[in-house]
Amino acid sequence: MTKKEFVSKVINILKLNNRDEHVSRRFVLRVAQGIAKTLISQKLLDRTISSELNLYSHIPCFEFEKIEAIKCPLIDFRMCITLMKSKTPLPELVFSRLGASIKDIVSLDGNYRFTYLDKGQYQRNKKRQHSLKDEVYIYLDTDMHLYIPDQEIYSIDLTILTLNTEEIENCSSCKKKECKSYWESDFVIPDKLADVVLNQTVQLMGVSRQIREDQNPNNEQGS
């Protein structure tokens, strides 16, 4: 389902209740995505939707460039012999208490998988007396860039869960660019939760309308 299709469903229901009211499509989408993000985060935690591959977006040829480790804002990486930083930030991810929703990070030929770590895990690994020589670690910072310490790797494929699917094409150097509008990009939600998000969005939009009416009694116009 596209963003346009989902928002149209909400607006059509709202218009049945009040035909004269103008509804902002972007506001509806913002409300719906907020609800979807919360529900998805909860379901990721109990692992009931982790196998639903249609939720995830694939980014092929996600490129990195070498930067000077000593100038890196991340203190933990300043002593790295080599430091790679992604050329572009990732779209905003869905997070849960399990961390960022990065499903797979693989080499371009698909034969090697990289290990994603958060900052705490990276620091603990650095303190281990014996590190795993065959593992390559990738770290996501708060700037939404990925970093690869002590390895010279220029491109990977990865799979992520983001609601901002319209940004995926800008992250890939080899994905064919399509003339698809913002509203034609996917509205990410598990099928089993689609009706829940729809109903909660309609309900919240109704509450928002009621608040506006209460703040403007007798249809008084503000100056």
Got the DSSP string for 143-164? TS-EEEET----EEEEEE-BS-
Same domain, 90 and 163: yes
Tell me whether residue 116 is in a domain: yes
- pLDDT of residue 222 exceeding 50, the answer is no
Same domain, 69 and 173: yes
Round the average pLDDT of the chain to a whole number and report it.
82
Same domain, 67 and 137: yes
Task: Give the pLDDT band of residue 202 (cuts 50, 70, 90).
Answer: very high
What's the pLDDT score for residue 24?
A: 87
Separation in Å, CA 19 to CA 10, 26, 117, 204: 13, 19, 51, 17
Same domain, 144 and 170: yes
Residue with tokens 């050329």: 87
> Domain range holding 43?
3-51+190-216
Same domain, 29 and 96: no
Same domain, 59 and 94: yes
Lowest mean pLDDT among 8-17, 102-111, 198-207, 211-220: 211-220
Using CA atoms, how far apart are residues 86 and 117, in angstroms rounded to an integer? 15
What's the pLDDT score for residue 65?
A: 94
Phi, psi of 21 (to 5 degrees): -85, 130
Separation in Å, CA 17 to CA 107, 203, 207: 52, 12, 13
Same domain, 61 and 91: yes
In 3D space, the residue among 50, 30, 163, 175 whose CA is nearest the CA of residue 108 turns out to be: 175
Domain count, the chain: 2
Cα dihedral value 28, 55, 158, 83, nearest 10? 50
Cα radius of gyration (the chain): 22
Mean pLDDT, to the nearest integer, of 194-222? 70
What's the pLDDT score for residue 124?
A: 67
Same domain, 197 and 121: no
Same domain, 24 and 85: no
- pLDDT of residue 211 exceeding 50, the answer is no
Same domain, 116 and 151: yes
- pLDDT of residue 129 exceeding 90, the answer is no
Phi, psi of 54 (to 5 degrees): -65, -15
Tell me whether residue 197 is in a domain: yes
Tell me whether residue 222 is in a domain: no
Using CA atoms, how far apart are residues 203 and 10, in angstroms rounded to an integer? 10
pLDDT digits (tens, 9 = 90+) for 11-30: 998 887 665 567 789 999 99
What's the pLDDT score for residue 223?
A: 34
Same domain, 79 and 119: yes
Same domain, 116 and 173: yes
Tell me whether residue 70 is in a domain: yes
170-184 core/surface letters (b: 16 or more CB in 10 A; e: else): ebbeeeeeeeeeebe
